[in-house]
Amino acid sequence: MQTSNRLEGIGEYYFSTKLREIDDLNKQGKNIISLGIGSPDLPPHHSVIETLSLEAEKANSHGYQSYKGSPVLRKAIAGWYQKWYNVSLNPDTEILPLIGSKEGIMHICMTYINDGDTVLLPNPGYPTYRSAARLAGGKLVDYHLEAGKNWFPDFEELSGLVPPSTVTGRQRAILFVNYPHMPTGQLPTKSFFDQLISFAREYELLVIHDNPYSFILNENPMSLLSVPGARDHVIELNSMSKSQNMAGWRVGMMVGAKERINEVLRFKSNMDSGMFLPVQLAAAKALELPLEWYRELNEVYKKRRTRVFELLDLLRCEYSRDQAGLFVWAKVPASEGNGYALSDQVLYGANVFITPGGIFGDAGDSYVRISLCCPEEKITESIERIKQFSGIKKPLHV
């Protein structure tokens, strides 16, 4: 049986294959400590779990749901955006709940990309942008992010990548952006967001802003939709996986102009039959959590990040202490080759897995990424294992 042409160039997701390898190593007795994936290990608030349980007991909770999501959840999303981002959204027309924001990336690509359409992708950046755009038939064009430019796009470079306008009334290209940025942890600034919207207006771009990390180790959450006029050019994705510890629940959201919501809904409504109602109602409860919830969560991550800095110092890596999000991004010393080499050394020598930065694009080849989604005692144990690994200074060549 032959696979479809659309799968050409689409490999299995890196973590899917790597986790199988780690599972095999564990079966051999290696007891690998994984500092790779950003899946929160802490539970949601107890009131969220309680809401799920209570609602699931109701006999009328188990049928098909609206394709647009529960009005209760959409109203909660609107309130959350107003409270934390100072963005007013119409819950009836400008919000679309998602079964995880990852599916939203695919829905958007299938809704707006024709064969050969230009899709501008951050390098380094989240690999799903690339695979979803390729599956939709897009022409993938990287724009490079550099530490020396604070991991912001070079708008002069971007202007040279946008194709000439050929179809009146249609976007010239789709631009993926993601701030706070993953994997580098770079926070946005108001001036950058303002410049981004001006650029999108001038070059007739549809901007997809992926915004799941804005509450993690960041006291000033920002939405790109807070910029005046942004709604004409922006679809924003957000998620409850990170800031509400609900990764496995698969609850995300797409927000934007009424027209964009309706356009994406034409595709999405053919892909699923709605989200389990008790999950939606529990998600609405989670969106009502007070500031104290985020502060307590971030105190845990601050302590873990301090330990990760110690681990990176052992590996002689360079890093910024001002990163946001669930990871720490660090440049490996030149003597160690690249991120893949250092990752392999630590995995096979110390039984600790850290992510090579190259999986996020070749601009990340000289970097590694370490997740904060691991108990502090496990990070401490990782430090001790690396200290005992006598071969840490001997680079592997890959």
Residue 394: which pLDDT band, with cuts at 50, 70 and 90?
very low
What pLDDT sits at residue 13? 65
Complete domains list, the chain, with CATH? 5-43+292-388 (3.90.1150.10), 61-286 (3.40.640.10)
Contact 374, 41 (CB under 8 A): yes
* Backbone φ, ψ for residue 63 (5° rounding): -90, 180
Question: What is the Cα–Cα distance from 9 to 205, expressed in whole angstroms?
Answer: 26
pLDDT confidence tier of residue 390, bands split at 50, 70 and 90: low
Per the CB < 8 A criterion, the answer to whether 81 and 94 are in contact is no
Q: Is pLDDT at 129 greater than 50 in this prediction?
A: yes
For residues 194 and 392, what is the distance between their CA atoms, to the nearest angstrom?
45
Per-residue pLDDT reduced to its tens digit, 200-231: 999 999 999 999 999 999 999 999 999 999 99
Query: pLDDT tens digits, residue range 136-145?
Result: 999 999 999 9
The CA angle 61-62-67, to the nearest 5 degrees, is 90
Spatial separation of the C-alpha atoms in residues 152 and 179, rounded to whole Å = 9
Interacting residues of 290 by C-beta distance below 8 A, sequence separation 6+? none
- Read off the pTM: 0.92
Cα–Cα distances in angstroms (integers) from residue 327 to residues 246, 333, 383, in the given order: 17, 19, 17
Q: Give Cα separations from 6 to 2, 15, 101, 278, 388 (angstroms).
A: 11, 21, 22, 36, 47
Residue 55 has pLDDT above 80, yes or no: yes
> φ, ψ for residue 19 (rounded to 5)?
-65, -30
Measure the CA angle with vertex 333, ends 332 and 336; round to 5°.
90
Residue 398 pLDDT level (bands cut at 50, 70, 90): very low
The strand pair at 205-210 and 234-239 is best described as: parallel
For residue 25, the model assigns a pLDDT of: 86
> What gap in Å lies between CA 304 and CA 214, rounded to an integer?
18
Handedness of CA 136, 140, 142, 143 (dihedral sign): negative
Q: Is 300 left (phi over 0), alpha (psi -120 to 50) or beta?
A: alpha
- Which pair of structure tokens corresponds to residue 41? 């290990």
Helices 339-350 & 376-388 angle (0-180, nearest 10): 90
Q: What percent of the chain has pLDDT over 70?
A: 95
- The neighbour count for residue 319, using CB atoms within 10 Å, is 18
Per-residue pLDDT tens digits for 285-328: 999 999 999 999 999 999 999 999 999 999 999 999 999 999 99
> How distant is the alpha carbon of residue 206 from its chain centre?
19
Whole-number average pLDDT of the chain: 92
pLDDT digits (tens, 9 = 90+) for 76-122: 999 999 999 999 999 999 999 999 999 999 999 999 999 999 999 99
Alpha helix positions (H), 144-276: 155-161, 190-203, 258-268
pLDDT at 396 over 50: no
Give 253's strand partners: 97, 238
Spatial distance between the Cα atoms of 368 and 363, rounded to a whole number of angstroms: 11
151 closest CA partner among 362, 293, 363: 363
A 10 A CB-CB count for 278 gives: 18
Answer yes or no: is pLDDT of 10 > 50: yes
